[in-house]
Every structure is written in structure tokens, then in C-alpha cells.
Amino acid sequence: MTTPPKSVTRQLPQPVRFVLGMGILVGFAALGTGLTTLLHLPMPGPVVGMLLMWAALSAGLVRLHWIEDAADGLLGILGLLFVPATVGVIDYLSAGATWGLWLLVMLAGLLLGAGAAGLIASRLVRE
């Protein structure tokens, strides 16, 4: 994505542009959370925020270069951000052999889902 040369955000120092992006991303998460509360939607606020962000980018209300530093930074370490949650498995180690069954269920879901997706997409793909 090219940034317009006259853009004001272009003149911001990079760390500040990161802060701008964080502000907008957190703002959209808050907006999403507010909307789910207001409309009693049984959905996580940040996911609604993601949909709103997609709409705002597509409508040109939010420019990609306002948020891309922050977004790429966060997505680049996304795997780190849920380590605090996955470490919680230590409370489930007693499940022992049942883990094998869980993996087997997921394997079935993966093969069925990916198999279907792959075969459907192969037929519909435009050359």
C-alpha cells in the first residue's frame, strides 16, 4: 500500500505512528464491545471490532497506513499473546490419556473440513 506523500501521518515519527495505530485498534475493540452490549449480541466485542475495522478500511474511513505498523507488530507476535492462556494446560495434565481422544476428534474435524474446502474450492476456482 502506498502512502500519499502529503499525508500528515507520514510526518509522525514511527513510534508515534505505532501509538496511533494502537489507539485506533483498541478504539475499535471498545466500539465493538459497546455495540455488543447495546444490541445484546452474544459475540466477543473484539471480533465485532474486527468486522467494523474491515468495513471502515473498505469504506475509506480508516487509512491502512494509520494502523498497519501497529497491526503488523501485533500480528507478528500473535503467538506470544495467547501463551498466558495455553500455559493453563498445566491444570489439565490430569486428563492424561483423554488428550489422545481430543486430538483424534480434532484430526477428524481437520481432515473432513479441509477435504471439503479443498474439493469445493478446486471446482470453483477461476483460472
Partner 1 sequence: MTWIALTLLAFVMGTLLGLRVSSPLSNPTLVATVLVAAALLLSHTPYEAYRLNVQPLSALLTPAVVALAVPMYRLRALLARQWRALVFGGLGGTLLGVSADTLLPQLLLLSTEAQRSLKTAPATSPVALQLAQFTHAPPVLAATLAVLSGLLGALVLPSFLTLIGVRHPLARGIAIGSVAHGVGTARAREEGDLTGAASSIGMGLAAVLVTFIVAFLG
Q: Which of residues 26-65 bind partner 1 (CB under 8 A)?
A: 26, 28-29, 32, 41-47, 49-51, 53-54, 57-58, 64
The grid coordinates of residue 75 equal: 500480528
Nearer to partner 1, 4 or 109 (CB): 109
Contact between 16 and partner 1 per CB under 8 A = no
Q: 16 or 117: whose CB is closer to partner 1?
A: 117
Q: Is residue 74 involved in binding partner 1 (CB under 8 A)? A: yes
Among 88, 94, 96, 97, binds partner 1 (CB under 8 A): 88
Instruction: Convert 43-53 to b/e letters by CB count within 10 Å (16 or more is b).
Output: eebbebbeebb
DSSP string, 23-85: HHHHHHHHHHHHHHHHHT-SS-HHHHHHHHHHHHHHTTSS-HHHHHHHHHHHHHTHHHHTHHH
For residue 24, the minimal CB distance to partner 1 (Å) is 9
- Segment 72-75 long-range contacts (CB within 8 Å, at least 24 positions apart): 73/18, 73/21, 74/25
Within 97-116, which residues bind partner 1 (CB under 8 A)? 98, 101-103, 105-116
Choosing from 13, 39, 91, 97, the residue that interacts with partner 1 (CB under 8 A) is 91
8 makes contact with partner 1 (CB under 8 A): no
Which residue reads 477461476 in cell numbers?
126
